Chain A
Amino acid sequence: MPVKKLGRGVALVGAGMSKFGAFPGKNGRDLFVEAFTEMHQSVDKGFDPHEIEAVYIGNYSSDLFEGQGHTAPILTDWIGLTPRPAVRIEDACASGGAALRQGLIAVASGLYDMVLVGGVEKMTDLPTERVTDTLATAADVVYEIPAGFTFPGFYAAMATAYMDRYGCPVEAFLQVGLKNHAHGALNEKAQFGQTIADIMEARKKSAAKKGLPAPTWANEMEFLCDPKANPMIAWPLRLYDCSPISDGAAAVLLVAEELARRFTDAPLYVTGTGQASDGALHDRSTLTAIPSAQKAAQDAYAMAGVKSADIDVVEVHDCFTAAEIIATEDLGFFAPGEGWRAAGAGSTTRGGSRPINTSGGLKSKGHPVGASGVGQVIEVWKQLRGQAGTRQLPGNLRLGLTHNVGGTGQTCTVHIFERR
């Protein structure tokens, strides 16, 4: 099939996000306003929001999480931009990536010169079991959920298939969590601004304060293997293998390429987009890879005319630690079955040969599901423009990639960004 091309070039000229975390008293629109405001301030030469012609919102389930449907016009009204067309895009945890793609296509088509893409989710008002139930509706509720599966359960099942096929030990997954917590500790927007060592220290202090015997973990791996400190959620995945329940929002500004320099001298260009769909987990040719991610990546690389080895900055959808290992293989950074070895060898750390999730990833930064795909873009924006502060990667960074999965891979979007 011939390579698909955008109708015209599209540039990213602004990006912002709220802090991700648990924020009682703030609803989705409050968080979206924070993201929008930061995005507005990020546009180097400034802009008049009245120039925005349409609004694309990634949101998974404001209906179930907040009791609020029809979210997009409400958010658009709250930033003063009615009567512009506003649409909500839902593809489970890939809603943000899917909204980005729709905004991109709208500008590339020539219909609009400037669109706002947002992602928002407010999850923490519900008790954990109802959040679990709400997330489960992203699976096939007729043919998968009656088996008792939860989302951690699905990814845990993929993990057992992966372990069996490639001889991967459970510790490989824990390494990913350790790494993403270390990365997230350098991100002021992250839900967990703590390394695992920080968390261990806090637990020891708390035990001492309560007059309890001090825990005796010799190192981080002992802490992560302690069932009291790191309880099992769905074998082999423990608490610190799972992304948290989060509130948060993110927003980015897309404009036609020829207008980009009006807004900044350092725009990023969205040169590749791919999106693919798939059926239930049990209906796939493999359980140790995500075919929709492979297809979306292949399409995005082809459109951008680049290879995996060319990419400098990578944000992948690590909803669970095992998912990050599989993602690094699906995107072509490591051969099938090699991702766990690379993670164990430290290759995916900030100082490694293939840094993954310098933001802390969904694991540490937080996973407000509909916001995550847009939140990933903020890290690429900062890293490629040299604005990532203490977590800035060294070198002349030119290409960034975001990988956003919905469900267990019923949806995947991949986007590629270029600094010229």
Chain B
Amino acid sequence: MSENIFTSTAYNQRLGEHTLMGTRCSSCGAVHLPPRPICPHCLSETAEWVQFSGKGKVAAFTSIYIAPTAMIAEGFSRTNPYCSAVVQLVEGPMISAQILGVDASHPETIRVGLPVEAAFIERGEGEQKRTFLAFQVVG
């Protein structure tokens, strides 16, 4: 039995190095983000790491006014909303992330299709320090 190296821990370590890594299926060539040890298209159990460009566009978004506790701890609130989105990368796959550089208090100004590129947010201190994927509006 081969050891699964395409874990969320490995993905998050790469995020910590500010690189966005997924997998390419060795059998059918499909690319996946986040990394997938088993290809959902052809069920091949062999894959390789592939780096994503980080470029994409907003496919769906929202401005969140009633935040979960983790985001309340980051200072977000009813009067300070933030934008979360599903982003479609130029390589094809979609991923969930916070969007930076938009006016979340005026969500009517945010549009599906906005071009974005990967950004990385550091949160927490010491042992708790972690890198979160985000996207920054381009231009």
Residues of A that sit less than 8 Å from B by CB: 128-130, 132-133, 136, 142-150, 152-154, 156-161, 164, 231-237, 279-284, 287
Contacts and interface: CB of A to CB of B under 8 A. Distances in A.
A150 B96 contact: no
B85 A164 contact: no
A287 B97 contact: no
A147 B68 CA distance: 11
Interface in B95-122: 95-98, 107-108, 111-113
Contacts of B30: none
B44 interface: no
A253 to B, nearest CB: 39
B84 A157 contact: yes
Contacts of A287: 59-60, 86
Interface residues of B, number: 38
Chain A interface helix/strand/loop/mixed: helix
B61 A146 contact: no
B66 interface: yes
Contacts of B60: 157-158, 160-161, 287
A234 B86 contact: no
A143 B69 contact: no
Interface of B: 8, 34, 40, 59-72, 76, 78, 81-82, 84-87, 93-98, 107-108, 111-113, 132-133
A129 B97 contact: no
Contacts, number: 111
Contact of B84 (A133, A142, A153, A161): A153
7 contacts: A129-B68, A147-B98, A148-B70, A160-B60, A232-B65, A282-B86, A282-B94
Contact of B96 (A136, A143, A231, A235): A143
A142 B60 CA distance: 19
Contacts of A143: 8, 34, 95-96
Given A143-B34, A143-B96, A157-B86, A234 B112 contact: no
Nearest to A233: B66
Given A142-B34, A153-B62, A233-B65, 14 more contacts: A143-B96, A145-B68, A145-B70, A147-B96, A149-B96, A157-B60, A158-B60, A231-B78, A233-B66, A234-B63, A235-B62, A236-B107, A282-B86, A282-B93
